[in-house]
Copies of this chain bind each other. A is one copy, B any other.
Amino acid sequence: ASTLGYKMAVEEPVRCDTPSLAERDQQTKREKGVNDASPMRLRMEKFVKEQQKEIVRALEQADGTPFRVDEWQRKEGGGGITCVLQDGKVFEKAGVGVSVVYGTLPKPAIIKMRANHKNLASDDNIPDSLEFFAAGLSLIVHPKNPMAPTVHLNYRYFETANPDGSSGAWWFGGGSDLTPSYLFDEDAIQFHKNLKEVCDAHDKTYYPRFKKWCDEYFYNKHRGESRGIGGIFFDDLDETVSDKENTFAFVQDALKSFAPNYISIINKRKDMPFTEKEKEWQQIRRGKYVEFNLVHDRGTAFGLNTPGARVESILMSLPLTARWEYMYEPEPKSREARLVEVLKNPKEWV
């Protein structure tokens, strides 16, 4: 059946102009499925959805509690799957979300984005609008035990469609970072070592660049300290850095290595004894996590300002509980003070 015929059959109002990127992709998936020869949009969407299932399964196994799964549609195009485990045995809150967005960039957004992506449009011919596609997986896990670290991960792909329907500009972004309340050097080393190995297998310059980028991005400026002990962060990984196929391979490796790495850290920490005072310190650190996410995180700000955004999916990153004590200062030379020291002066872990 032609796209137009399909549209007339299932959708209204009927629009008789050319099919949108979303419509064309729906048709391709239906008729041909998704394989290595498919557009990167469909491959990335398929990959992050598979990974979401795998990670959810691994976290469920670690906790013994099932996730709640919500599938949602975005009126403006696309949708997502949000999986949340709340108040479990091991995890206070774990959110694993996939979102797929089809939309249109207005001219001012195109002009702004061209600062980093010259190939969005040629200098002398900036279109009035451009269709775009974005797909990504976001994850955040806040464990109950204060000895077990919070983790965050996000990998995403962005692409524009040329007016003729072909793929235009594209880039990958993402990373993963660890936020302990109590610092175990061996955990920080393991977490970074794993990321370095994944990076090194693709490009020896990645780890040092992306580690630094992470330290700079996840910085609670008003507190003068990092959110956590870092990891990697990158954005705008486009053809000026590497080709699409190799970059996708890197993102795949990075995402696939996450769950085994993090869960092995969790298994070491989840049953450690702790005091009420240590739990309180965790709650205070949670407060600073909230501050970063609500005050400084560009992704959260962008999401909350996007019309039709699913707010509960964006704010699944917030911990179940947090605490703000006025002028709280850890005791000198305590474990709490050492953490703050490291957050003020990020370390090289590998």
Contact = CB atoms under 8 A, between A and B. Distances in A.
Q: How many protomers of this protein does the assembly include?
A: 2
A148 interface: no
Contact of A326 (B93, B283, B290, B326): B93
Contacts of A290: 290, 294, 322
A86 B322 contact: no
Contacts of A319: 324
Interface stretch (A155-163, A179-187, A258-266, A310-318): A310-318
A283 B322 CA distance: 10
Contacts of A221: 304
B304 A295 contact: yes
A222 interface: yes
Interface string A269-294: 00000000000000100010011001
A17 B78 CA distance: 63
A323 interface: yes
Contact of A304 (B86, B222, B318): B222
Looking at A86, A305, A318, which has the most chain B CB atoms within 10 Å of its CB?
A: A318
Interface residues on A, range: 20 to 34
A322 B321 contact: yes
A320 B221 CA distance: 22
Contacts of A323: 320-322
A68 interface: yes
Contacts of A70: 327
B86 A325 contact: yes
Interface string A319-338: 11111111100000000000
22 contacts: A68-B327, A70-B327, A86-B325, A86-B326, A221-B304, A222-B304, A222-B311, A223-B311, A287-B318, A290-B294, A291-B315, A294-B295, A295-B295, A295-B301, A312-B326, A315-B324, A316-B326, A320-B324, A320-B325, A321-B322, A321-B323, A322-B323
Q: Which 8 A-B pairs have the closest CB atoms?
A: A294-B294, A318-B324, A222-B304, A84-B326, A294-B295, A321-B323, A312-B327, A222-B311
